């Protein structure tokens, strides 16, 4: 996971809670050439084959097409994908595809324009939907929707998202709410287990398990809904943690490595990458990566935009 920026044009509460700045007030993000150099260095030392671009919102980074193009030239990288809110995707989808982007995940929590605007603090649903259509037209497939389950809205949002996804051949992934810098009381009140939602769907449709795929955290099911079949993924960090199978490594826009969203221990890779040939530095990095463990608690004081969700 490569976070190219901590800035975002939305302000979803579970990602960027009230009172937190839109961007981390520290050093500016690394320029594209330096970011890509760090990724190339890591790929030369470890078996990294896939890179997912995150943020913040990666499309607010004006050099994003350049970053994708440079990453695609790294030997051993088999796939470059992106998680985006889609609001800026319509004008960039084709260029991103040409640069080497393979596919996108688009965050979409509501298909009601007013609810969408409230959740995102000012986002426009029509722009995100236009971004999804542009991604499909550009061949950035499969397009997957990421939707965070909220207790107060899921009974309205889940059926609407299923119908929308089924009509367009999209995969939708429902994600359990986690506390990352977010008010604990709000999270507790809005959390709902994916198991409860799945049982509700089983009463209203036909649900069948699909084979597990190695490249992602989602447990996948095939659902027949409103006369159509759709693939549904369930990302369940609280009810069914997938930490034991996780091999992800995260790097933020300033070259800091993080083993896990919930791990506050970081490695200053940008400061030490030039000394990776030295035994001490390589041993320190190896020890850091070997220390990847399931978190003691599924929560973090850091905001999602800061750690690169």
The gap from C-alpha 125 to its chain's centroid, in whole angstroms, comes to 19
Domain count, the chain: 1
Block residue for tokens 């979803």: 12
CATH code of the domain in which 134 resides: 3.20.20.70
What is the CB neighbour count within 10 angstroms for residue 23?
Answer: 18
E strand residue ranges, the chain? 2-3, 50-54, 79-84, 103-107, 144-148, 171-175, 179-180, 206-209, 219-225, 228-235, 250-251, 257-258, 266-267, 299-300
Confidence at residue 227, expressed as pLDDT on a 0 to 100 scale: 84
Helix, strand, or coil (residue 188): helix
Confidence at residue 308, expressed as pLDDT on a 0 to 100 scale: 56
Block residue for tokens 């995940």: 105
Confidence at residue 252, expressed as pLDDT on a 0 to 100 scale: 96
Domain range enclosing 274: 2-307
Helix, strand, or coil (residue 187): helix
pLDDT in tens, the chain (309 residues): 999 999 999 999 888 777 666 666 567 899 999 999 999 999 999 999 999 999 999 999 999 999 999 999 999 999 999 999 999 999 999 999 999 999 999 999 999 999 999 999 999 999 999 999 999 999 999 999 999 999 999 999 999 999 999 999 999 999 999 876 667 888 889 999 999 999 999 888 777 777 666 556 788 888 888 788 899 999 988 777 666 677 889 999 999 999 988 788 999 999 999 888 889 999 999 999 999 887 655 555 555 545 555
Helix, strand, or coil (residue 48): coil
Confidence at residue 69, expressed as pLDDT on a 0 to 100 scale: 99
What is the CB neighbour count within 10 angstroms for residue 278?
Answer: 11
CB 143 within 8 A of CB 106: yes
What is the CB neighbour count within 10 angstroms for residue 63?
Answer: 16
Confidence at residue 81, expressed as pLDDT on a 0 to 100 scale: 98
Residue (of 84, 166, 110) closest to 93 by Cα position: 84
Q: Radius of gyration over alpha carbons of the chain, in Å?
A: 19
Q: Which two tokens stand for residue 136?
A: 């499909």
Q: Which residues of 34-44 are buried (b: 16+ CB within 10 A; e: fewer)?
A: ebbbbbbebbe
Q: Which two tokens stand for residue 47?
A: 């078996």
């Amino acid at each position: 996971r490569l976070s190219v920026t901590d800035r975002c044009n939305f302000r979803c509460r579970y990602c960027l809670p009230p009172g937190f700045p839109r961007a981390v007030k520290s050093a500016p993000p690394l320029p594209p050439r330096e970011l890509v150099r760090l990724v190339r260095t890591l790929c030369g030392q470890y078996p990294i084959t896939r890179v997912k671009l995150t943020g913040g919102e990666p499309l607010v980074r004006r050099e994003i097409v350049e970053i994708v193009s440079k990453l695609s030239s790294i030997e051993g990288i088999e796939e470059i994908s992106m998680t985006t809110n889609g609001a800026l995707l319509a004008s960039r989808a084709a260029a991103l595809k040409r640069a080497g982007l393979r596919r996108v995940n688009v965050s979409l929590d509501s298909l009601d324009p007013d609810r969408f605007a409230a959740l995102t603090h000012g986002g426009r649903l029509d722009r995100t939907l236009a971004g999804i259509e542009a991604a499909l037209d550009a061949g950035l497939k499969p397009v997957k929707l990421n939707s965070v389950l909220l207790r107060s809205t899921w009974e309205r949002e889940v059926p609407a998202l299923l119908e929308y996804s089924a009509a367009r051949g999209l995969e939708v992934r429902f994600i359990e709410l986690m506390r990352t810098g977010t008010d604990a009381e709000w999270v507790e009140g809005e959390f709902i287990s994916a198991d409860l939602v799945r049982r509700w769907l089983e009463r209203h449709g036909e649900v069948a398990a699909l084979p597990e795929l190695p490249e992602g955290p989602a447990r996948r099911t095939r659902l027949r809904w409103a006369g159509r079949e759709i693939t549904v993924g369930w990302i369940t960090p609280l009810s069914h943690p997938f930490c034991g199978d996780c091999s992800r490594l995260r790097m933020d826009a300033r070259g800091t490595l993080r083993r896990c969203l919930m791990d506050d221990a970081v490695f200053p890779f940008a400061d030490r990458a030039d000394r990776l040939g030295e035994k001490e530095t390589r041993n320190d990095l190896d020890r850091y990566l070997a220390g990847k463990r399931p978190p003691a608690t599924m929560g973090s004081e850091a905001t999602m935009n800061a750690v690169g969700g």
